[in-house]
Amino acid sequence: MVKIGIILGSTRTQSNGRALFNYLQRNLDQWQTGEAITTAFLDLAHYQLPFFDEPEPPMANPHRQLPANQQQWLDDMAAMDGYIILTPEYNHAMPAGPKNALDFLAFEGLRKPVKLISYSDNMRGGQFGAAALVPVLQRLGMVVLPKPTPVGNVPQTLQADGQVIPDAPLASRYESGLQRAVGEIAYYTTVLTQHPFLTD
């Protein structure tokens, strides 16, 4: 059984992504992915990461000694076999929060697949936020799945606790699109875990 981390890529208290994060927590266990998976929901705000300010790059510093909250972020990422990252779009890029959190990583995500789900309060679905994350994730050695899943009109579809607003026009599209995205990451995580690329 593989473990997939679902990361809320915003630290804002009133983020639209929090409603989407809560929606997945409510519904994911009911969806059939075709693969045996477990999930962990990782809220970046929980880790209270400061702005990255280490004297050496993490990849070049194997003897790092970090405070407990920062080490917990690294340990949680290392414990996952694959990832879903929920990201909004700020000025045609990802927010500072997830970029900063990723800057703490060294090899925790190496050769692990990641599925990007972008979101917004309009029909564009935050697509530039996902696009800006791709080169960052690739630099960390992650396997970024093609074609991110954009999720639009979050405030018109979901309540803050993740429940669907009655008669929301996009409700059925949310379920089908997100269930497909979860099935995709479940498949690739299982394949890459069972058939790892070995360099030795």
* Predicted confidence (pLDDT) at residue 112 exceeds the cutoff of 90: yes
- SS3 (DSSP) at 7: strand
Query: What's residue 200's pLDDT?
Result: 58
Q: Are 108 and 74 in contact (CB under 8 A)?
A: yes
Query: What's residue 74's pLDDT?
Result: 98
Query: What's residue 199's pLDDT?
Result: 66
Query: What's residue 198's pLDDT?
Result: 75
CA 96, 83, 133, 165 dihedral sign is negative
Q: What's the whole-model pTM score?
A: 0.96
Spell out the residues 6+ positions from residue 158 whose beta carbon is closer than 8 angstroms to its own: 19, 20, 22, 23, 164, 165, 168, 174
Average pLDDT of every residue of the chain:
95
Average pLDDT over residues 139-143: 98
